[in-house]
Structure 1
Amino acid sequence: MKNEFGILKAKSLKGALNFKQLTNEEIDQRLTKYFKTHQFMRRCDFQSLCGMARSTAMRHIRRLREEGKLKNEGGVMQPIYVPESGYYGAI
């Protein structure tokens, strides 16, 4: 492989991946704004909306479901999240 590519130089990222940690209140604000124009949300939508890694997004979705703010209207393998009544503008 060395013959194919030549000499490779690698540089450590050392903190180049800066994910901003959002508070629960900031997440709620973003979800309220999101659900004004969308009927449902997938995990990847939540992930990009909040700028989180997949595992962090799943942890927050699990928390929001336990708090009764989101519910899964899809299947186990293809979840579709909608706001519970009284949250994020849902009536």
Structure 2
Amino acid sequence: MTRRCSRSAGRPVWTPPRHSVAGETVVPNTVLAELAVRAGDEEGCTAVGELVVDTPLVLPRTGALHLQVRVAELDATSRRLLTVHA
């Protein structure tokens, strides 16, 4: 699944001031959780067990951030690893 995030109309509606770090706009973890839920829905998954964010996603000042969401095959515990790549 792929998605695109940008500042096309100024500050995105989901970015109140608390989602700015050192003057940069970061994608809130709730947006990543929504992406995980949506990707899981497409794969027949019913829940997100855990969300770990290694690196905050910073929106570029111009252009867009292209995201790719990958859902892995079932593992030995019947869970799927989901990753987001920018």
User: Which interval holds the TM-score relative to the shorter structure?
Assistant: under 0.3
When normalised by structure 1's length, the TM-score is: 0.26
* Structure whose residues are more often helix by fraction: 1
Larger radius of gyration: 1
Please, what TM-score do these two structures have when normalized by structure 2?
Answer: 0.27
Q: Which has the higher contact order (CA 8 A, sep 6+)?
A: 2
